[in-house]
Chains A and B, each alone.
Chain A
Amino acid sequence: MTPDQARQLVRAELLRIVPDAAIDVIPADADLREELELDSLDFQSFVAQLSERTGHRIDEDDYGHLRTLAGCVEFLATRD
């Protein structure tokens, strides 16, 4: 997955959870859970979708990589 594809996937999945989120104005290194007020259920559903859409297993130990937009993109783009 290219960084662009990863970015689009992350964007789409976040919008699914917070439909009116202004994702483009969130700094790449900001904590997504704080920025979008995601609770643990939201975050789990976000991770579940990323895992399903990419076909990659994502463990709880990996959650730390998914805290920010930049982290998500890097994590997904380097999985292949």
Chain B
Amino acid sequence: MPSLGADMDQGTVVEWLVRPGDTVHKGDIMAVVDTTKAAVEVECFTAGVVQELLVEPGRTVPVGTVLATLAPAESAAEPEPTAQAVPEPRPATQKPAARKPAAAGPQVRKLAAELGVDLATVRGSGKAGAITRADIQQAAERKSKPVPTSGRTKVSPYARRLADELGVDLATITPGGRDGAVHAADIRATAGRPETPRRPQPKRDRVEAMRATTAGLMARSKREIPHYYLTTSVDMFIALEWSHKRNRELPVPDRILPAALLLKATALAAKAVPGFNGHWIDDRFESASTVHLGIAVAMRGGGLAAPAILDASELDLTTLMARLRDLVKRARAGRLRRTEMTSATITVTNLGDLGVDTVHGVIYPPQVALVGFGKVLERPWAVDGLLGVRPIVTATLSADHRVTDGHSGARFLDVLSGRLREPETL
């Protein structure tokens, strides 16, 4: 069980995506692991042949537990387990399986959505009652075949949606229609009754778990990290004019948003000024050679994650923009990769879209700096001795005083705003 974040001490195997005998390559996705933050795809760290899957889906095990054994690809015939799927050093103390009601991996959920199968109506046949892809396929087959009397109740699509909106469990509905199917009227009748058992809301649990994780991490940050804060106002006039002009020739999906300019400028500053890009580990700062830029992403319905855009300082704006879009989309869908969850070397939070002027952010341990951007606001601004109206953004650096002082912090912000004044260098 890999550590998918500084705050993770256990994880639940949701689904295996490989079987014994499968040949896997470095970077292949082997399993989906549920953490309090998200369901995460766990990649294979080496090439080989899967020997044995040691932790069945549904089980929660501590970080460091051996999940599977691999044999080297060349000696595939010999079933000698020579490699652990996960290189963590801790011994494999297995906790008893935490039974989750009808656990279903993201891929299973996706398949269910594609086939129009309501997960709440599916009985999991996997270990610990987990719903497998086979269960979904069977359910979809049952659904598509007209089964008039016995077995599964038919539900009209509208009724299904209504049931979802009203929080009615379809399994509790008695069909009222002549055709034995559940129609909207049945849902409404049930929803009207006060004793209607509401569907369990796994989403809520996720939000609460995420809240608890963020609470733990941020409390640790404020307890351990002596933060200092520096703020500067950056005139975005040139940068926005530049991107506007550039965007005019591009189709909508390829256009650069101001956020991409701010991210790139931050990544370049983190690379240029030492002491802000890296981790505080074992009472000392370990500088990172590449900039993996963490992005604070707010989840719909609550919760926060800060996955990283890898090698952000090396990406051109178009690529950075595409990565950002993809990352935010997957973070909200609960589909992040292990490296994205664990490797951020500095984080950016951009609350400008919510109309906030200034953000004094809390550093994500073990990182040592966080940059916050507020809204780009039209403000009266003196330029060359004349008062004009310019788009201004406030950039705030929260940094760890154990590693740097205000002097370096000021240099960091200076490099950052300098880059934004010369957008062609981004």
Which residues of the partner chain A approach B259 to less than 8 Å between Cβ atoms?
40-41
Q: Are B252 and A47 in contact (CB under 8 A)?
A: yes
Out of B251, B325, B353, name the residue touching A33 (CB < 8 Å). B353
Which residues of the partner chain A approach B258 to less than 8 Å between Cβ atoms?
40
Out of A18, A37, A44, A59, name the residue touching B354 (CB < 8 Å). A37
Interface check A48, CB cutoff 8 A: yes
A41 vs chain B, min Cβ distance (A): 6
A33-B353, A44-B255, A48-B252 known; A60+B247 contact, CB < 8 A: yes
Which residues of the partner chain A approach B298 to less than 8 Å between Cβ atoms?
39
CA distance A60 to B353 in the complex (A): 17
Main secondary structure of the interface of B (DSSP, over half): helix
Q: Residue of B at shortest CB range from A17?
A: B300
Q: Are B353 and A39 in contact (CB under 8 A)?
A: yes
Q: Residue of B at shortest CB range from A59?
A: B248
CA distance A41 to B352 in the complex (A): 12
Q: Are B252 and A44 in contact (CB under 8 A)?
A: yes
Q: How large is the interface on B (under 10, 10 to 19, 20 to 34, 35 or more residues)?
A: 10 to 19
B-contact bits for A13-33, CB 8 A (1 contact / 0 none): 000001000000000000001
CA distance A34 to B355 in the complex (A): 9
Q: Are A41 and B325 in contact (CB under 8 A)?
A: yes
CA distance A80 to B253 in the complex (A): 22
B-contact bits for A41-53, CB 8 A (1 contact / 0 none): 1001101100110
Interface check B134, CB cutoff 8 A: no
A42 vs chain B, min Cβ distance (A): 9
B190 vs chain A, min Cβ distance (A): 20
B55 vs chain A, min Cβ distance (A): 33
A64 vs chain B, min Cβ distance (A): 13
Which residues of the partner chain B approach A51 to less than 8 Å between Cβ atoms?
251-252
Interface-central residue, B257, B259, B353, by most chain A CB under 10 Å:
B353
Which residues of the partner chain B approach A47 to less than 8 Å between Cβ atoms?
252
Which residues of the partner chain B approach A44 to less than 8 Å between Cβ atoms?
252-253, 255, 257, 325
CA distance A60 to B254 in the complex (A): 12
Q: Residue of A at shortest CB range from B352?
A: A40
Interface check B328, CB cutoff 8 A: yes
A41-B328, A59-B248, A60-B244 known; A48+B354 contact, CB < 8 A: no
Interface check B324, CB cutoff 8 A: yes
Q: Are B325 and A45 in contact (CB under 8 A)?
A: yes
Which residues of the partner chain B approach A40 to less than 8 Å between Cβ atoms?
257-259, 353
Out of A18, A45, A58, name the residue touching B300 (CB < 8 Å). A18
Which residues of the partner chain A approach B244 to less than 8 Å between Cβ atoms?
60
Which residues of the partner chain B approach A41 to less than 8 Å between Cβ atoms?
257, 259, 324-325, 328
- How many residues on A have C-beta within 8 angstroms of the other chain's C-beta atoms? 17
A-contact bits for B325-338, CB 8 A (1 contact / 0 none): 10010000000000
A34 vs chain B, min Cβ distance (A): 8
Q: Residue of A at shortest CB range from B254?
A: A48
Interface-central residue, A41, A45, A58, by most chain B CB under 10 Å:
A41
A-contact bits for B40-68, CB 8 A (1 contact / 0 none): 00000000000000000000000000000
Which residues of the partner chain A approach B251 to less than 8 Å between Cβ atoms?
48, 51
A-contact bits for B116-132, CB 8 A (1 contact / 0 none): 00000000000000000
CA distance A17 to B422 in the complex (A): 34
Which residues of the partner chain A approach B325 to less than 8 Å between Cβ atoms?
41, 44-45
Interface-central residue, B252, B324, B328, by most chain A CB under 10 Å:
B252
A39 vs chain B, min Cβ distance (A): 4
Q: Residue of B at shortest CB range from A58?
A: B252
Taking Cβ atoms with an 8 Å cutoff, the residues of B that contact A are: 244, 247-248, 251-253, 255, 257-259, 298, 300, 324-325, 328, 353-355
| 29 A–B pairs (Cβ distance < 8 Å), ordered by A | A18-B300, A33-B353, A34-B355, A37-B300, A37-B354, A38-B353, A39-B298, A39-B328, A40-B258, A40-B353, A41-B259, A41-B324, A41-B325, A41-B328, A44-B252, A44-B255, A44-B257, A44-B325, A45-B253, A47-B252, A51-B251, A51-B252, A52-B252, A58-B252, A59-B248, A60-B244, A60-B247, A60-B248, A60-B255
Taking Cβ atoms with an 8 Å cutoff, the residues of A that contact B are: 18, 33-34, 37-41, 44-45, 47-48, 51-52, 58-60
Given contacts A44-B253, A44-B255, 13 further A-B contacts (CB under 8 A): A18-B300, A33-B353, A34-B355, A37-B300, A40-B353, A41-B257, A41-B324, A41-B325, A51-B251, A51-B252, A58-B252, A59-B248, A60-B255
